[in-house]
Amino acid sequence: MSMTYNFSAGPGVLPSEVITQIKQEFEHNEHTHMSIIEISHRSKKFQKIVSDAEQKLRQLMSIPEDYAVIFLQGGGSTQFEMLPLNLATHKQHVAILDSGNFAAKAAEAVLELGKNVTVLNSTKSIKYQTLPELPSNFNSEKYDYLHIVTNNTIEGATYHQNNLPETDGRLVADMSSNILAEPYDISRFDAIFAGGQKNLGPAGVTVAIIKKDWLSEQDITGVGPMMRYKNHIDKQSMYNTAPVFSIYALNLVLDWVLQQGGVDEMYQRNLAKSKKLYDYLDQSTFYSAPVKSADRSLTNVVFTTGNLEQDKKIAKAAEEEGLFNLSGHRSVGGFRASLYNAQPMAAVDALISYLKKVEKQA
């Protein structure tokens, strides 16, 4: 086996240059005389890493000054709770477009917190193969915000910049699996979050980007200190011990994205990679990609032979050819090839040639 490729949806593939750099710096650092996983989160060295990472993320995503950028723990799932606790304090009512598993989970969390949720539209009955649209009679006044998932990691449908719901109210986006993969106009959103382990770095860090004036309007009486965005913002992401290693690695990934040419370059590459794979799947009589073409994800390409048992065997046998983690999420089966920023075109080429070989033998 010469090259191996990791198609996992998360933790996902990281740039090989970043892995090499981490390896070189891991044991002994010329500035700190200790490993990065031993340094204090209060040290100057680490404080600089945090502020550099924030600046680079601002630059890459063109985040306006009136948005706070913080690094948190607890994964994307903790944001399902922090968002309503901090931002649904007036109407106690969140609107959601049910575009997949992670939208449904976010809705559940709001309910568990004793607040109201209205699912405005859902494509669950058609297995989320298209995106639910915002109903034309949507009245944003009734809700604190509308929650959407830009990229549906499990089902493979995406609200791209050109098909985002148009609302005059507050809009919150879960960008866990396509942040930095394609461009979005940040001013369209009032809060954005992303767990780190899909397209930003290793697990253990979550990014939150929140419009400051909106946050300051909220009544957070009764919200515990760790769950308050304000505390994390006031302490520049160091309210408690920060995930030092994850933020360090995230900072290296942001350097890498900048060196490669930024989000526009990532977008062009992701378009090219995903198009090559979808084009192959669409002409194939053996495989099919079920998501409606305008809604298709650039980062998580979902497909199947139509026989889930057969899919499982093909994904397993792919490991012999160096192609790992091609099975779909356990809840849906089939195949899922994650093509995050660090996934090279060579991985797509290797995957297509494997799929072709299997098709020929079938």
Ligand X SMILES: *Cc1c(COP(=O)(O)O)cnc(C)c1O
Kindly state the smallest distance separating residue 24's Cβ from ligand X, in Å: 28
d(CA 275, CA 311): 21
Contacting range for ligand X; rule: CB under 6 A; set: 70-78, 218-226, 243-251, 259-267: 70-78
Binding characters for ligand X, 162-181, by CB under 6 A (x = yes): ------------x-xx----
Other C-beta atoms within 10 Å of 216: how many?
Answer: 8
Q: Looking at beta carbons only, is 153 or 305 nearer to ligand X?
A: 153
Contact segment (CB under 6 A) with ligand X among 73-81, 139-147, 253-261, 262-270 equals 73-81
Shortest distance, position 176 Cβ to ligand X, whole Å: 3
CA dist 115 and 89 (Å) reads: 9
> Contact between 46 and ligand X (CB under 6 A)?
no
Give residues with Cβ within 8 angstroms of 203, minimum separation 6: 10, 11, 75, 195, 196, 197, 246
Instruction: Give the nearer residue to ligand X in terms of CB position, either 147 or 170.
Output: 147
**Interface region with ligand X, contact rule CB under 6 A, candidates 62-70, 74-82, 84-92, 159-167:** 74-82
- CB closer to ligand X out of 195 and 201: 195
* Residue nearer to ligand X on the CB measure, 67 or 102: 102
Specify the residue, 154 or 257, whose C-beta has the smaller distance to ligand X: 154
Sole binder of ligand X in the list 6, 86, 153, 158 (CB under 6 A): 153
Q: Is the dihedral of CA 207, 272, 6, 252 positive or negative?
A: negative
Closest-approach residue to ligand X (CB): 75
Closest CA to 297 of 187, 138, 182, 168: 182
Q: State which of residues 77, 116, 129, 236 lies at the interface with ligand X (CB under 6 A).
A: 77
CA distance 82 to 315: 37
Q: Considering only 75-83, 184-192, 248-256, 263-271, which stretch makes contact with ligand X by CB under 6 A?
A: 75-83
Tokens of 92: 């106690």
Under 8 Å between Cβ of 307 and 287: no
Contact pick of 160, 198, 228, 296 for ligand X (by CB under 6 A): 198
Instruction: Indicate whether 73 belongs to the interface with ligand X (CB under 6 A).
Output: no
| Chain contacts with ligand X (rule: CB under 6 A) | 10, 75-77, 102, 149, 153, 174, 176-177, 195, 198
